[in-house]
Structures are given as C-alpha cells and as structure tokens.
Chains A and B, each alone.
Chain A
C-alpha cells in the first residue's frame, strides 16, 4: 500500500489528480499524478534526499525544476534500459516508473564514502596531479582503479539498448526555440504571417515560466493566454508544435539538431514506435526564446537538501501543487524573487523570513514580508545551515551583525537570472557581459538567428511578449512574409536590474560553486593561487562546469568567485565556451536505425539468393556481401576451397563477379580520356577487344586496375576493383568535368545493371556454348583470348561476353541485365553439370590469382608503384597521363624498392601467413634486416603446398634465394624461397586454347 502524498497541496497545480500514478524510488512504492515530474512527485511524498555528490558523497536534494538540475540525478529504469544520471526534474512521471539513487553505498542515508569530505583539504582541486607518482607502476595497478571506481555517478546498462530510435528531417521558414511567453508570441507573429513555423519546446507543456508563475496577461491569468495561443497555433496550417523536443545544437547552414523524447514518458515504447527521434531541422530563420536560468547564491552548506532555487519553489507550488517544505526562508538579492513568499503563503506554507541581501532595505519587499507574515531582514545573509540530510534551520547574519537562528526546512534562493545564451554560441559566438543584468547576454549570433525574451535579457513579462512578437515578425519579414498587426499584450510582473552578491563572505561550512562536481569556493581559491586565473583554466583544473549540467547554475558564480579572489571586475574575467549539446543526448539517438545489421547497407550480388540456397558462406567485401566458398555437407572450409580451385583447374567453375565496378564510357573522345587516366593506352584498342589497365594517382602511385573492353568505337566498358569502384568513378568524373571538359565523353555506372559471371576452366567453352545463343560463334578463332562483344544468351536475352581470365584458365565473363542474374546462374550451373561445373567463391578466386601471380588487394594498397608490382612495362612513354610525371621520381623508381615476388615454403609442409616480414636467411629478425613482407597467401591445391606473394627489396633479382618469413605476432618463422610470382602456366597457354 503506497503512502499518501504528505506534501501534496490540497488544491491547485496543473497536475491531473484524477490520474494517480504509482512509481518506485530506491525500492519504495510511492504515488504521484499525471503531470508530475519525478522530482515533483518525490517532493509530494516528502522525499528530499535523492542522491549523493560526486566527490564528497554529500547528501543532495532537488535544486531546480528544469534541465539545468545539477543534483537530483537518478538511475532510471533497470536492466538493458537502465539510464544513469537522469534528471528527476525533467523525467515525466509515468505509471510503473522505477528509479534509484546513485553513487552511494551501502545506502542513500548511510554512505561510507561520505567520509571523503573530512579529507577535503587533501582532496582539493587537482590534488591527484601532485601525488600517486611513486612507484610508477602503481598508477595503473592501484591508484587509477581506485579513482575510477569512486568516480562516475550511475552505472551504464549491462546489455544492448533494446529500444528503437530514428532520425527525421524537417524544414521550415522559422524555427522558434522555446514556448514561453516570448516563444509563443514569436510563433504567433511568424505563423500569422503565413510562414512555415516550427515551435520546439523541451517541456511537455507550453508556457515556459508562465506554468510556474501566477502572472496575468491582459488582466487575466497568463495560462488563459497560453491556451488561446496554443489553440490559435494549432489551427494555423503551417505551424507545427513539437513538445518534449529540445533543440540541442546549432550547425552550419541553418541546420538545427533537436531531440524529441517520443516515449520517455512511457515504461517502454509502444510497439512500432521509437523511444526517441533525432530531428535535423533546416530553418531559414530561428528565434531563440530559451528563457533564463536562475542562479543560486554561494554560501556555507548551500548544497543541503531543502535548499532550492526560488523559481523552482514557485514551480513546485504553482505548477505541481506541491509543498517543497513546511516552513520556508527566502534568500535573494532581487525584488522579483521575493514574490515567492506570497506564492508560498497563499499555498498555506509558512514563511519564516525574507532574507534580503541587498544593502538598502526595500519597502516593497518589506510589504511582501508582512503579507506573508514573515520577518524581513534587509542587508542580511544566510551564514550557516543546520541539518545534514535536509535543512532544519539557518543562521542569518543581520545588517547589524547579529546572528539569528531560524527554524525552516526549505530555503528558496535566488541570486538572479542568466539568459540561456547557449545556442547562440555553438557557431563560435561569444556572449557579452551586461552590467544592467549582471549576466552574460547574447552578442554575435549564428547567421539567421535572433533572440527574444529572457534569453535576450528581457526579463519583464511585457517585454518578453513584445520582444517575442517583434522577433517573430522580423523573422517572417526576412523570409518574405508580411506580419499582421501587432497586439502588444500588457502583463503583470516587471523586474528590476540586478545587483547580485554572488557569495556570502566568510560563511561557515563548504560553500559549493558547482554542486554536481563538488567544486567549492576554496577550490577556486586554490586554483587561482596556483595560477589558474581565467575561467577556462579554472574549469579544467577544478572541473567547474564540466558535469552533466555543464555548469548551467554554476559558471556565473564561479566567474564571480574567481573575480573576487583575483581582485578583478567580473565583467572582465570572461567565460568558458558553451558547446553542443544543450542538454545531454543518448548515443542511440544519434545512431538511429544504423546499428547492428543496419549499421551500413549491404549490397547483395545477383546470385545471392541462389548462393544462400547452396549454403554459401558469405564475407563482407567493401559494401558487398560475397560468397566466400560453397561448403558441401560436412566439408571443412579449406577442403571446400581446395575443391573449388581444383575444379576450375580441371573442369570448370562459375563465380559471381558482378561486384566489380562497371562504367559505360561513351563519346567520340572516350579513348582519349582513357589514355589520360590509364598508364597504358586504350585509344588503340580495337573494338571487340579487351585490355588490362592500370591507373595511377597524380602522385605516381597505383590507384586501381581492371580490364576495359571496347564495345564500339565510341563505347568502352571499364571495370574497376570492387573496393575502389566509387573512388574511380569520382576520379573519372573529375578528369572529364574539371581537367578536360572539352572532351566529348559521357560516363555512367552500370555496376547494378549487369550481373556478371566468370566461367573458368578447361570446359568453360562447352558450358558457354550451351548458354550463348547459337548465332554467335564463340570458338577460339572467332572469339579468342581478350575478345569482347555484345551477344544474346538463352534465347534472346541481351548480354555482354568477354574472354577474360583471372584464373589463368580458359575463361569467359558473361553479363546479363541484373534482373536475369538469378536465372542465369541457375542456368549456367544446370547446363554446366554435364561438364562438372561447381561454383567458386572469393576465397578460391584469390587462390587462383595468387597461383597466377596477379597483384590484387594485398598488393594494390596505395603504397605501391607499377614497378613494385612488376607492371612497369605498362607505363606508356608516348603520352601524358595522370601520375606520369610524379611516377618518374627517383624514390618511386629506385630498384631497391620492395617489389613483387612469388614465395614458396622451403619446407613444403610449412604454412605461410600474410603480414609476415621478410628477413635475409641467417640474419636476426630486427628492423634493420626488414626487407619486405608477405602480401597475400594461399594454399595451392594445384601444387600441394602454401604459396605467397610478397614485396621484397630487389625482389626480381633474388629468385632462388631463401629468406625468413618472420611472423612474431603469430610466433611464425618459416624459410621461404623467392620465385617468380606466377606458378601456373607462366606462358599463358591455357587461357588461349
């Protein structure tokens, strides 16, 4: 049976008392209402102690009512959905909510590490830089683990995030950020003009401060005005209101990142719905109406549960119908904050005193005090706080130096307000100091942004309404719309300039500047003493402002204290930099759909479905999934590969090579372009013929290789390696568009259009004859090695046929429109059965080419030259081509460069491994003797032992020499014999039969 809500006011507030919600905190079952936050519900249940602080494990409560909260961080949810460091002040209460306090052991009330605070003098700012140095090895073994265990507040989930996240794009003329009075007015003015408007609001209701205050607009409760505004905006066709949506970052080109918490107010997201949605909003203009954040006053033990920002106190009383305490003291240095007294009194909460830090006593505030029948202390401060786990009383130092103790369980503090300038600085703008407000206000703004309301330093309600409207209208105008007439709503509440006291001098107890990171006044003093005298240094040395709240309630006070101890004018000490995100964002949200198998799309080859049916094992190659090998039942991988290779050498095999990049290059100057991008010549290639080619980068190293067929005088069919397909296409387009725009060349990728199969092996022609329509003669005379042409297959299907061989066997590549790819592979295998055909995968493909000594991936690594690869003879001396000049530099042609060799183990049983380094025989394995490395290896079923390709200093001159293949990371060290790269049919007779 959950307890009643002892601190819930009998009436008032924007909560729905009809909807009671149950929730758990540290295992205790409690209740709250729809419309509560976890924080307001905890307070309603009289829970004040909600967490322990970072360093000293001090008891902490709830300071604020918004996303600036430094203290009330909890672990929300459990198991894989556990969310550490969740602000109790922003999480909407839902039925079944489960939260736990953090950073305490064994319990929240009794926490062993609370002992830390007694060592505070040692654990002062940066103490760790000065010790833990001896002995060196102890840092990793002893000190660091201890520090790491103590640090960090909550615990991360222990399993993958089970929820679904997504991203979305939105476009508008005007983005209004924040839906308080300024934001609503801005949105109204903008939307009325006909502009497309998005109004983004972090909270789950519109109104901003108006939800928390008892203001009036046009003589009626401000909330009526909010309802009317909402209704009108809803009705306007081009206005979109996005609740629970925080604009977290400003980026170039009017791009704004916003996080929509779609289902954070549900125990788990409903089926088919995401938990959160990351919006990328592109807006021509933005109006920032993010309001202002109240700042505390720094005094001794100012971190005790029950000490709360005055604005938050009003929010809990007025919006949530909660009594944050029974007997309150209001401590502030501006008239406006003392309104809190009236709100409390009217809610039936006793107000013990108004402690007014301003030097001269204020009749208005005096009156406030009398109305609330509270005592009034002018020119006074709170000097001490009684109570550990919660405030029990305070000691006031009066103007005439008397100390007076007051009973209370709630202290409402206000040291003034800081405009929320954060989003104005994301594009490097720096805010400027306002003397009038004693706060930083926006200065240089991101292009297209303007600021209104409290965010711009307009603190009066009328000013916010007018300012918002003006900014909205201005933005509309800038987008080419004509704003309708202005309304100039009049409102209660104006406010005076601030003269903050920042901190209570010589108080007692720890005076916290940054509550979450436990940075105290003495830390700031120590830092200054050690030379960290500007905010950026102070921050990094003390961690002030580096916690999850990014110092929203701490930075200003930090600068003030620093100014004090360094005897400088606060306006001159400067500030740290605000960076995105405005409020922390889950990594999942930025990843959206792209995780697990959907991290990146997978390109599936035309034969994929068929290969799956054959039980193929697939491998990722670049963006593609390719069949690695096709194991038969019970067959070991190596055996499968051996069989596939042998079958190509002895009978015939088929392999899907569709993943190669394929480019149709057409136009009367196509040949000229290819001559300029390839090291060798293509303009001389006869139509109906294919040729192997190499292209270089402009710096002279090899970029890519492949075969190109000339299908007609003005039509080449270029193939690239699978991995470089996109790069090469871009390169060709650069050459055609930028370097030689005068050429008549058109190119388009046809990689997807053609399903291309290599049919290789002595019986290849027999198979192809059954596929290619009889009208085409593919005999050796009619269609010799390196012939290419357009044919039809299987009764009329258009196809391209090439006599190419990567395997060194009699081989063809046949291509059909991809929609026939599945049918063709089935047909080839069906027709090939008679000739013993078997599919082979990329593994066998690799073995075959290594047996032939063709360079590929392992050798084309961007660090090699044509000469390194034994392709030097391809370089044409007759023409300029990309990379020609730089390729001629001595360093690239130096004969001692590691160049391509074949390798075979001296002891034929030995296994070779790629990545092993080549060391002269008898020399010790050391850097000095490192002469190259093994680039590719394969077990050659044809030869019955392992084979390799390698790059070796002076390689070609060293055939016959024996060297060590040293592989320390795999404890391998075998002797290998240097030989020519090609092991099978060096004369190339087989592929010409």
Chain B
C-alpha cells in the first residue's frame, strides 16, 4: 500500500502508523449523562466493508496526522487529507 501524503508525496506503507476510524468524535461534555457517547467514542466502531475514513500518522515522514479514505476490502485509497485543518501544526 502507498499513501499519498499531502506534504511528502506518495510514500511506502511502512512510513505510516495506523490509528483507526477517523469519524468518531471526542465528546466535549463531562456530564455523566454522556457516558454512552464516551463509550462509543472509545470502544465502538462501524468497521464497514467498504469506504473507511481513518487516521494515519506519517511517523517516518512529516509527522502529520492524516485522514485517509480507503476501501478496506480492496485497499484502494480514494483520498488523503491533513487531519488538522490544513496545516499539520
């Protein structure tokens, strides 16, 4: 697999570190009532057999966190973007 880092260009798989589903959002409230939201955020995943938005870290390159849109059945990569708004840091 090769990931086209928006900063470094297309690079080999082993330069990157995988984190997981990028669509889960960290809750902002500490209200005990939000427990389910926290549990979903930390533990539960859709894991669809198709397009998957996921976090990768270009750990051997520019250290940007990326959102890669990838078909996890074919490994085809559809899009790669910085996870942080535009600039990595």
Q: Is A404 an interface residue (CB 8 A)?
A: no
The chain B residue sitting closest to A880, CB to CB, is B30
Interface band, chain A: 20 to 34
**Bound-state Cα–Cα, A737 to B76, Å:** 25
Contact code string B34-74 (vs A, CB < 8 Å = 1, else 0): 11001001110000000000010101000111000000001
Given contacts A730-B59, A885-B30, contact A736 B42 (CB under 8 A): no
A741-B57 CB under 8 A given contacts A252-B2, A734-B65:
no
Name the one of A280, A747, A884 contacting B30, with C-beta atoms under 8 angstroms: A884
Which residue of B is nearest A747, CB measured?
A: B89
Q: How far apart are the CA atoms of A746 and B10 in the complex, in Å? A: 25
Quick check: A738 and B30 within 8 Å, CB to CB?
A: no
**Are B65 and A738 interface neighbours, CB within 8 A?**
yes
> When chains A and B are docked, how far (Å) is the Cα of A733 from the Cα of B34?
26
Interface size class of B (residues with CB under 8 A): 20 to 34
User: What 0/1 pattern do residues 1 to 31 of B give for CB contact below 8 A with A?
Assistant: 1100000001011000101000000111010
Set of chain A residues within 8 Å of B41, measured between Cβ atoms: 698
Expressed in whole angstroms, the minimum distance between the Cβ of B36 and any Cβ of chain A is 12
Once bound together, how far apart are the Cα atoms of A653 and B8, in whole Å? 46
C-alpha spacing A739/B24, complex, angstroms:
11
Q: Which chain A residues numbered 31 to 47 have a C-beta less than 8 Å away from chain B?
A: none
**Contact of A556 with B by CB under 8 A:** no
Say whether B65 contacts A737, CB under 8 Å.
Answer: yes
Which residues of A approach B to under 8 Å, CB–CB? 251-255, 280, 282, 427-428, 447, 698-699, 726, 730, 733-734, 736-739, 741, 745-747, 880, 884-886
Q: CB within 8 Å of A: which residues of B? A: 1-2, 10, 12-13, 17, 19, 26-28, 30, 34-35, 38, 41-43, 55, 57, 59, 63-65, 74-77, 82-85, 88-89
Q: Which secondary structure dominates where chain A touches chain B?
A: mixed
- Interface residue from B12, B26, B63, B76 paired with A733 (Cβ < 8 Å): B63
Does A252 lie within 8 Å of B84, measured CB to CB?
Answer: no
- Chain B's nearest CB lies how many Å from the CB of A207? 33
Q: Which residues of A contact B38 (CB under 8 A)?
A: 885-886
Please determine whether B27 and A885 come into contact, CB atoms closer than 8 angstroms.
yes
Which one of B10, B65, B77, B83 has the greatest number of beta carbons of chain A within 10 Å? B65
Q: B89 touching A737 by the CB < 8 A rule?
A: yes
Q: Which chain B residues lie closer than 8 Å to A427 at the CB level?
A: 74-75
Chain A residues contacting B30 (CB-CB under 8 Å) are 880, 884-885
Choice from B19, B27, B75 contacting A734 with Cβ under 8 Å = B19
Chain B nearest Cβ from A709, distance in angstroms? 22
A726 surroundings in chain B (CB, below 8 A): 59
Residues of A within 8 A of B1 (CB): 251-253, 255
Sample (20) of A-B pairs whose CB atoms are under 8 Å apart = A253-B2, A253-B10, A253-B77, A280-B12, A282-B12, A427-B75, A428-B74, A447-B76, A698-B26, A730-B57, A733-B89, A734-B65, A737-B83, A738-B84, A746-B89, A885-B27, A885-B30, A885-B34, A885-B35, A885-B38
Contacts of B34 in A (CB 8 A): 885
Q: Are A699's CB and B42's CB within 8 A? A: yes
In the complex, chain A residues whose CB is within 8 Å of the CB of B89: 733, 736-737, 745-747
Chain B residue at minimal CB-CB distance from A742: B85
The docked-state distance in angstroms from the alpha carbon of A251 to that of B28 is 41
Measured between beta carbons, the chain A residues less than 8 angstroms from B77 are 253
Q: State the Cβ distance, B77 to closest chain A Cβ, in Å.
A: 8
Residues in A with CB closer than 8 Å to B2 are 252-255, 282
Query: Which 10 interchain pairs have the tightest Cβ spacing?
Result: A253-B2, A737-B84, A252-B1, A741-B84, A738-B83, A252-B75, A737-B65, A253-B1, A885-B38, A741-B85
**With a CB–CB cut-off of 8 A, which chain B residues contact A447?**
76
A734 to chain B, nearest CB (A): 6
CB-based nearest B residue for A740: B84
Return A327 CB to nearest CB of chain B, in Å.
55
Name which residue of chain B comes closest to A733, CB basis. Answer: B63
Choice from B42, B64, B74, B85 contacting A698 with Cβ under 8 Å: B42
Give Cα A190 to B14, complex, Å: 30
Instruction: Give bound CA distance, A749 to B43, whole Å.
Output: 30
CA distance A747 to B65 in the complex (A): 14
Q: A251, A252, A428, A733: which contacts B65 (Cβ < 8 A)?
A: A733
Q: Which of B10, B42, B57, B89 has the most CB of A within 10 A?
A: B89
Of all chain B residues, which has the CB nearest A169? B12
B59 close to A737 (CB less than 8 A):
no
Give the CA-CA distance A884 to B35 in the complex, in Å.
Answer: 12
